[in-house]
Structure 1
């Protein structure tokens, strides 16, 4: 179902036009002039690439399964553990970790990894 918004008309102009403040500047400004910048910790390039790939994989899994994506990843990790496939188990636990850290930690403890 499509929802459309139409502002109420006040004669020939929309009613919202009278609410806009024309004297306010619309440009953005930096108000941190005298303050020191907080230091950001550096992250190794390899780990950020791996993390980005893991997040992308978790998002694709979430797109397929919706809100049950973490549970589906847990089930896949348990199935891989039962098969003895440690690489797949690690992959699915990583996806589960991105989606639900507590569930991933509990599953890893239960599987003994």
Structure 2
């Protein structure tokens, strides 16, 4: 059975037309046109973007098990004594599952 919807008519104008805001500008406007980001802000944003990109690539390889795999890699790096790899894998795990990463960081710190 087909269900058809027709908006209620208010004389010659549909009822939905009265709700639409015709006075709103359609063009985009930059509110902070006079300000420029500092180099520190740009460097921080670039580092965050690189971490997210790395986490997304890891997620593309491992799917829903990506956070678990990153946790395993962080534990293996901790066992090897490789602090930079441990921090990298913990960061990937943090992007994918914040609670798992917090528990892992707490466990590895003790």
**TM-score grouping bracket, smaller chain normalisation:** 0.5 to 0.7
Per-residue deviation, 1:46: 1.1
Matches of 1:90 and 1:101 in 2, distance apart?
Answer: 14
Dislocated runs of 4+, deviation >2 Å: 18-25, 27-30
Q: Which residue of 1 aligns with 2:109?
A: 112
Per-residue deviation, 1:29: 3.1
Q: How does 1:1-113 map to 2 (within 5 A)?
A: 19=6, 24=17, 29-30=24-25, 44-112=41-109
Over aligned residues, Cα RMSD in angstroms? 3.1
User: TM-score normalised to the size of structure 2?
Assistant: 0.66
Segments of 5+ residues of structure 1 without an aligned counterpart are: 1-7, 9-14, 31-36
Q: How many residues align?
A: 90
The 3-state SS of whatever aligns with 1:44 is helix
Matches of 1:88 and 1:28 in 2, distance apart?
Answer: 55
Per-residue deviation, 1:100: 0.5
Query: CA, structure 1 residues 90+28, in 2 after alignment: closer, same or farther (shift >3 Å)?
Result: farther
User: TM-score normalised to the size of structure 1?
Assistant: 0.65
Deviations 1:2-42 (A, max 9, x none): xxxxxx7xxxxxx97x74899647x8935xxxxxx8xxxx7
